[in-house]
Structure 1
Amino acid sequence: MTELRGVGIGLGVAQGPVARMAAPSPAPEDTASTRTPDDELARVRSAVADVARELGERGEKAGGMAQEVLEAQAMMVEDPTLESEVATRVNAGKTAEFAVYDAFASFRDQLAAMGGYLGERAADLDDVAQRVIANLRGLPAPGVPDPGHPFVLVAKDLAPADTALLDLDKVLALVTTDGGPTSHTAILAREKSIVAVVGAAAAKDLTDGETVIVDAAKGVVTTSPTDDELRQAQHRADARAAAASAPLTPGALKDGTAVPLLANLGKPEGAAEAVALGAEGVGLFRTEFLFLSSSQAPTVAEQTTSYTQLLEAFPGKKVVVRALDAGADKPLAFLNDAHEDNPALGLRGLRALRASEDILREQLTALAEADAATDADLWVMAPMVSTVEETEYFVTLAKEYGIKTAGVMVEVPSSAIQAARILEIADFASIGTNDLTQYTLAADRLLGSVASYQDPWHPAVLHLIEMTAAGGKANSKPVGICGEAAADPLLAVVLVGLGATTLSMAPTALADVRASLLQYDLDDARRIASAALGADDAASARAAAQEAAAPVTA
């Protein structure tokens, strides 16, 4: 028996035979084409159109976060810059296959060097190129194997197009050698409730057909398990399935301490599923969906309609809406499309809104109108607040428009450090752990080369969360968590121990987090959090928390 360690997604456990993702097809050779350039270009256009259509169809079928990712990939494959680069190579006498391979590889390297949103797009570009080249060769697109029986899928990483449409009747669990807790694979696995361990580098040596246990709660893949270990794993899987089907209850610790569990949503259409999965409200509603697909800002009427649809799904419940968070990985032509050498540190979030204040005023108008027309408890927060002055600006303006509860997102260390002063002014704070980790560790959260730093378990991040919660307590103001960290069942306990008052996450993570909280009382949570704070790095903090939690679950 050998244990391969990685980062677990959720609390699930599964077992079964391994099926490995096939290696990418060999690169096309740089040989002269026997066709005319016009013929080769026609082949490329046909292949690109086929791949874009397939990605779009997969997105429509998958829905949710997967649809957004796949629609972005479909746009990527038809990028005019790429088309021009391919045409240049074809006109120089290259084959369509090599022209696509070389142009995409060159473009990928450029994007990766830029980092941020473009760096993230580079991570998926290889998959798109493989799909176009496979089409040109008349071969099936690269994808998930089908051994004819249920299996544990092992891959270097999964492209969004593959993760989105995994057959959950066949894929028992997912193991990747690359990626981290905020990779596309991890996010989509969490959304689809797939048992997964990501970043398990040693899994590269697993072979087809060998039986493994994938334990997401422990972040471990066990090879050559004994019969007793297999029975124990099955017992845990059965118990978890029973817990998931139990009647929904409000989020709380074992001692009855209330910890409301809220949903992160990107569109009003996701509200029904969130309610069905037990969301007690919305902790983060991203309004970007209204803006990102437009060449100009949506009207007040259009915004009011969408916000009203959302609020109507949560009568009497808290709904936290984030004002438009544009910039960095979400540039908008009508707001902030100017080139920035380091957009993650540029005109983004509230800074961008202040530079185009009419957009912010229109959004606040629409939110106030939707609030007046519904019975939900609307809270509105500003993204990327860095200073006390920015807090005063936003809260004052929001109140001017009739927003009763106005708060801020804590995503940069300066806000955490000044939380006591900020929360004298703001009605609440919500910690975005993805960006807080990025700025604390000085590592772009969308850049694969520094993905190992993007771990909210790092004690430096935990200390800033504790500091923010203390600022809330000093002012009797709530401090919630709305980053991916809240969806980690054990880290959720730590966050409560640090002083978080609510947790917001992808709806599919609610059941695991609810079950995890019920194992501990408030003293336990504080003790486990203290153990994590005393560590030196993210891995040791996670290990210390697991050890501190073990006596409770033994």
Structure 2
Amino acid sequence: MSGTRLSGVGVSPGRASGPVVRVAEPLPEPPSTPAPADPAAEAARIRPAAELVAGRLRERAAAADGEARAVLETTAAMAADPALIAQAEQLVSARSLPAARAVHEAAAGFATALEAAGGYLAERVRDVHDVRDRLVAELLGLTPPGVPELTGPSVLVARDLAPADTAGLDPSKVLALVTEEGGPTSHTAILARALGIPAVVACRGLLELTDVDGLVVDGEDGTVEPVVGPVTVRAASAEAEPTWSGEGWTTDGHRVKLLANVGSAEDARAGVAAGAEGVGLFRTEFCYLSATEEPSVAAQRVAYAEVLAPFAGRPVVVRTLDAGADKPLAFLNTEVEPNPALGVRGLRLSMAAAGVLDRQLEAIAAAAEDSGADVSVMAPMVATAEEAAWFVDRARAAGVARVGVMVEVPAAALSAREVLSVVDFVSLGTNDLAQYVFAADRQVGGVAELNDPWQPALLRLVALVGEAATELGKPMGVCGEAAADPALACVLVGLGASSLSMNAAALPRVGARLASVSLDQCQVAARTAVAASDRVAARTAVRAALG
């Protein structure tokens, strides 16, 4: 017997069914009292707890590989972050807080700063909350929240999943994932695709289900059907490992570069291992995250070169600092803003602190020489051709020959011809472009459907940029999570994308899918998607067009 079908956002394809296992809710907020009898001794408990948590995460990372390993290593690094530990220790000493409460408040400060930064940095807030909960549990002697021990194949149900929990999942026991929160660009979505587990996020009403024995989950169309009574255990059809040559081609010989999105040396190595032809998005924020002072040119040069080195002789597009307001980076002294996502972030911040940009460009140019990579740079959050021209002049003065910009503000897409006339290339950041088109924060599960990259309104903006790029003979890449969806990748090629950049795990599937279709099929699929009435109709029409 089945209940009312629920609908969410399908983020990892496949259809599966099985019994439900619920993931425990996060720990309650730790109390501020009683004050410790010995604040110094209480503060001294924090560092050992952090080291224990980080050590466990490193052990799990050592047993994982690819995207999962990178996520676990990042979470371990956050748990051992000296700045977080020092802030928590200071709160114990200054305010006589219990250690668990001090960790909770210190983590809240870090999370607020990342949220204010927006974009990729805001997506790391879930990581901070995960680290916070693990540290608090360790200090209180409790079992940390997360995925319980699975005794058999199950469908996991949760409010949200921490990145480290998703990274540690066993695909042989997890039939599917369903969360009430989250969105298309969340770590749950990215890692579920990497693991080949069907997943639906932003499934409203999921946690209100009672007396449900099982779920039937369709990760393609985003539907979740409750089952009461006997439930059939059915895993998604196992796909053969995709055959991919390591280069992007359609059946009729149309070339599409398939690149990796990276934010660390570990990401770069994973990209090379997965067969990436280069890097379409190198996020440089990692160099600044814990910095209380601006990193020196020399320090940046070394850090960038380590990421670039695995791609010696291959193209790498480096995005300059994409930070935001509300003082996410201490040395920038930015003002608090009522809505940082619409404030001084990305290139706007660089224009206000041109010296920081100039020093970063100097370091990038030097690291390019050190590594032998074929480096281009691009600026984030560009809205006008005037801003693009300002950045181009700055980058060329620093010795960078090839300069482009991100198209993630609708104004840049609507004035694509003017922007393309002053740059060498553009790269579409579909994640941010979607949230600005629909006025829908990509971190909020309640508006996740609006951030689905299959939304026709978003694809129509992509089409505008593609037409301008084709007309002017300049490359248009896509570096948002949309490029990681094999069917949507074909649509993007049909709309004029000459390169697609994605998480490393998605490369073989996207490469194999492109190798199975012609450019004409991609263009037909693109026209049907753009003409569709909604995101569901777009998916259905493209499925039929591609066969």
Does 2:544 match 1:546? Answer: no
Q: SS where residue 292 of structure 1 aligns?
A: coil
- The answer on whether the counterparts of 2:487 and 2:543 sit within 8 Å (CA) in structure 1 is no
Residue range with higher mean Cα deviation, 156-165 or 481-490: 156-165
Residue range with higher mean Cα deviation, 431-440 or 518-527: 518-527
- The answer on whether the counterparts of 2:88 and 2:106 sit within 8 Å (CA) in structure 1 is no
Query: What's 1:361 paired with?
Result: 358
Aligned length: 533
Residue range with higher mean Cα deviation, 69-78 or 264-273: 69-78
Query: What's 2:66 paired with?
Result: none
Q: SS where residue 248 of structure 2 aligns?
A: coil
Residue range with higher mean Cα deviation, 175-184 or 47-56: 47-56
Query: What's 1:64 paired with?
Result: 70
- The answer on whether the counterparts of 2:75 and 2:131 sit within 8 Å (CA) in structure 1 is no
Amino acid at match of 2:257: P
Distance 2:339 2:205 in 1: 34
Q: SS where residue 334 of structure 1 aligns?
A: helix
Distance 1:475 1:285 in 2: 26
Aligned runs of 1:474-513 on 2, under 5 Å?
474-513=471-510
Match among 168, 171, 186 for residue 183 of structure 1: 186
Distance 1:448 1:254 in 2: 38
Amino acid at match of 2:504: P
Does 2:20 match 1:18? Answer: yes
Aligned runs of 1:130-145 on 2, under 5 Å?
131=134, 134-135=137-138, 138-145=141-148
Aligned runs of 1:287-306 on 2, under 5 Å?
287-306=284-303
Identify unmatched segments of 5+ residues in structure 2.
62-68
Distance 1:45 1:141 in 2: 21
Can you list the C-alpha shifts for 1:258-278, whole angstroms capped at 9, x where unaligned?
A: 222110000133222212212
CA deviation after TM superposition for structure 1 residue 191, in Å: 5.2
CA deviation after TM superposition for structure 1 residue 507, in Å: 0.5
Change in Cα spacing, 1:164 to 1:181, as seen in structure 2 (3 Å) is same
Aligned runs of 1:270-285 on 2, under 5 Å?
270-285=267-282
Amino acid at match of 1:432: G
Change in Cα spacing, 1:102 to 1:419, as seen in structure 2 (3 Å) is closer
Query: What's 1:407 paired with?
Result: 404
Match among 425, 438, 457 for residue 441 of structure 1: 438
Distance 2:102 2:323 in 1: 32
Change in Cα spacing, 1:442 to 1:66, as seen in structure 2 (3 Å) is farther
Change in Cα spacing, 1:153 to 1:47, as seen in structure 2 (3 Å) is farther
Query: What's 1:93 paired with?
Result: none
Distance 2:382 2:221 in 1: 35
Q: SS where residue 347 of structure 1 aligns?
A: coil
CA deviation after TM superposition for structure 1 residue 67, in Å: 3.8
- The answer on whether the counterparts of 2:153 and 2:172 sit within 8 Å (CA) in structure 1 is yes
Does 2:394 match 1:397? Answer: yes
Change in Cα spacing, 1:202 to 1:377, as seen in structure 2 (3 Å) is same
Query: What's 1:456 paired with?
Result: 453
Query: What's 1:171 paired with?
Result: 174
- The answer on whether the counterparts of 2:268 and 2:307 sit within 8 Å (CA) in structure 1 is yes
Distance 1:182 1:488 in 2: 12
Amino acid at match of 1:6: G
Does 2:426 match 1:429? Answer: yes
Change in Cα spacing, 1:351 to 1:43, as seen in structure 2 (3 Å) is same
Aligned runs of 1:124-273 on 2, under 5 Å?
131=134, 134-135=137-138, 138-190=141-193, 194-201=197-204, 203-204=206-207, 210=213, 212-221=215-224, 236-237=237-238, 240=239, 242-244=240-242, 246-273=243-270
- The answer on whether the counterparts of 2:104 and 2:136 sit within 8 Å (CA) in structure 1 is no
Change in Cα spacing, 1:448 to 1:39, as seen in structure 2 (3 Å) is farther
CA deviation after TM superposition for structure 1 residue 456, in Å: 2.8
Change in Cα spacing, 1:159 to 1:106, as seen in structure 2 (3 Å) is closer
- The answer on whether the counterparts of 1:82 and 1:104 sit within 8 Å (CA) in structure 2 is no
Distance 2:37 2:365 in 1: 57
Distance 1:434 1:216 in 2: 19
- The answer on whether the counterparts of 1:15 and 1:152 sit within 8 Å (CA) in structure 2 is yes
Distance 1:123 1:309 in 2: 27
Can you list the C-alpha shifts for 1:314-341, whole angstroms capped at 9, x where unaligned?
A: 2432211112222248822223443222
Change in Cα spacing, 1:446 to 1:41, as seen in structure 2 (3 Å) is farther
- The answer on whether the counterparts of 2:429 and 2:480 sit within 8 Å (CA) in structure 1 is yes
Can you list the C-alpha shifts for 1:100-142, whole angstroms capped at 9, x where unaligned?
A: 499869969x959x86659877767776675566456543222
Does 2:348 match 1:345? Answer: no
CA deviation after TM superposition for structure 1 residue 482, in Å: 0.6
CA RMSD of aligned residues (A): 4.1
TM-score (norm 2): 0.82
- The answer on whether the counterparts of 2:117 and 2:324 sit within 8 Å (CA) in structure 1 is no
TM-score (norm 1): 0.81
CA deviation after TM superposition for structure 1 residue 426, in Å: 0.4
Distance 1:250 1:330 in 2: 42
Query: What's 2:65 paired with?
Result: none
Residue range with higher mean Cα deviation, 460-469 or 252-261: 252-261
Change in Cα spacing, 1:299 to 1:208, as seen in structure 2 (3 Å) is farther
Distance 1:263 1:371 in 2: 17
Amino acid at match of 2:177: L
Change in Cα spacing, 1:531 to 1:66, as seen in structure 2 (3 Å) is farther
CA deviation after TM superposition for structure 1 residue 428, in Å: 0.2
Change in Cα spacing, 1:263 to 1:338, as seen in structure 2 (3 Å) is same
- The answer on whether the counterparts of 1:101 and 1:133 sit within 8 Å (CA) in structure 2 is no
Can you list the C-alpha shifts for 1:493-528, whole angstroms capped at 9, x where unaligned?
A: 222222211110100111222233344333332333
Amino acid at match of 1:310: V
Distance 2:444 2:117 in 1: 6
Q: SS where residue 243 of structure 1 aligns?
A: coil
Q: SS where residue 10 of structure 2 aligns?
A: strand
CA deviation after TM superposition for structure 1 residue 465, in Å: 1.3
Amino acid at match of 1:64: A
Residue range with higher mean Cα deviation, 61-70 or 266-275: 61-70
Amino acid at match of 2:401: K
Change in Cα spacing, 1:348 to 1:143, as seen in structure 2 (3 Å) is same
- The answer on whether the counterparts of 1:312 and 1:375 sit within 8 Å (CA) in structure 2 is yes
Amino acid at match of 1:162: D
Q: SS where residue 253 of structure 2 aligns?
A: coil
Query: What's 2:50 paired with?
Result: 52
CA deviation after TM superposition for structure 1 residue 415, in Å: 1.1
CA deviation after TM superposition for structure 1 residue 298, in Å: 2.7
Distance 2:44 2:428 in 1: 46
Change in Cα spacing, 1:551 to 1:396, as seen in structure 2 (3 Å) is same
Distance 2:478 2:500 in 1: 5
Change in Cα spacing, 1:447 to 1:71, as seen in structure 2 (3 Å) is farther
CA deviation after TM superposition for structure 1 residue 356, in Å: 2.5
Q: SS where residue 285 of structure 1 aligns?
A: strand
CA deviation after TM superposition for structure 1 residue 348, in Å: 1.8
- The answer on whether the counterparts of 2:281 and 2:501 sit within 8 Å (CA) in structure 1 is yes
CA deviation after TM superposition for structure 1 residue 204, in Å: 3.5
Distance 1:544 1:309 in 2: 44
Match among 307, 314, 318 for residue 315 of structure 2: 318
